[in-house]
């Protein structure tokens, strides 16, 4: 009888460990599938909004996103427009471009930054505003959600804040 109790105790311990290790893998997959079926969406303040247009350049693309409006409940972040250069590996060593953010045919900002080949080097962006809607930036890195430059995989993301 003592052997049966020992065997059952060991079996329960092994089963508990298996459930603890394998369970989350199953539960996370089920959670992902359930979340995908809902209409929940990630807030544009985190994603940068929806792409408005893609501009083809010599060997790379510039994706201009629809502006993200100011959020009343997030005091840190105002409205911004996201610009994405891809692939970063195809960019020249220095980028300086006039960009039409709102799609009216006139440039709204001039964004300029250096593109180091080492992805670990911190980036800094300077943005000159040509339209009173957008705020100028001078040597900004990752200041906030609404004003930043970041290298993500093989893209460079710049967020230009609204005034």
Same domain, 91 and 104: yes
pTM: 0.75
Q: What is the pLDDT of residues 19-78, one digit of tens each?
A: 888 888 878 888 778 878 887 788 788 888 999 999 999 999 999 999 998 876 655 567
Note whether 14 and 88 are same-domain residues: no
| Domain identity same for 15 and 35 | yes
Domain count, the chain: 2
Q: What is the pLDDT of residue 71?
A: 72
Q: Output the pLDDT for position 130.
A: 96
pLDDT of residue 74: 55
Q: Is residue 1 located within the same domain as residue 76? A: no
In whole angstroms, what is the distance from residue 83 CA to residue 141 CA?
15
Q: Are residues 82 and 153 in the same domain?
A: yes
Strand order in the sheet with 94-99: 94-99, 109-114, 125-129, 137-140
Q: 139: alpha, beta or left, given left = phi > 0 and alpha = psi -120 to 50?
A: left
- Give the pLDDT of residue 2: 86
Same domain (yes/no): 50, 128: yes
* Together in a domain, 119 and 157: yes
The two tokens of residue 151 are: 């290298």
59 shares a domain with 6: no
List 125's β-bridge partners, or say none: 113, 140
**pLDDT of the residue at 73:** 65
- Does residue 101 share a domain with residue 123? yes
Is the CB of residue 75 less than 8 Å from the CB of residue 64?
A: no
pLDDT of residue 90: 95
With CA atoms as reference, report the closest residue to 80 among 139, 135, 156.
Answer: 135
128 and 56 in a single domain? The answer is: yes
Please tell me whether residues 61 and 136 are part of one structural domain: yes
Tens digit of each residue's pLDDT (9 = 90 or more) over 72-120:
665 556 789 999 999 999 999 999 999 999 999 999 999 999 999 898 9
Residues spanned by the domain of 35: 1-40
Residues 19 and 51 reside in one and the same domain: no
Residue 14 pLDDT > 60: yes
Say yes or no to pLDDT of 18 above 80.
Answer: yes
């Amino acid at each position: 009888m003592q052997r049966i109790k020992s065997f059952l105790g060991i079996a329960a311990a092994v089963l508990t460990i298996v459930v603890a290790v394998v369970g989350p893998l199953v539960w996370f997959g089920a959670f992902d599938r359930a979340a995908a079926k809902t209409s929940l969406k990630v807030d544009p303040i985190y994603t940068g909004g929806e792409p408005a247009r893609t501009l083809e350049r010599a060997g790379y693309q510039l994706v201009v996103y629809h502006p993200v409006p100011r959020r009343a409940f997030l005091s840190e972040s105002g409205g911004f427009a996201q610009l994405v250069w891809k692939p970063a590996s195809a960019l020249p060593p220095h980028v300086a471009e006039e960009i039409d953010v709102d799609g009216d045919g006139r440039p709204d900002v001039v964004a300029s930054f250096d593109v180091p080949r080492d992805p670990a080097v911190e980036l800094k962006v300077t943005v000159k505003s040509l339209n009173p809607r957008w705020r100028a930036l001078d040597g900004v890195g990752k200041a906030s959600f609404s004003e930043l430059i970041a290298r993500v995989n093989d893209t460079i993301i710049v967020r230009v804040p609204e005034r």
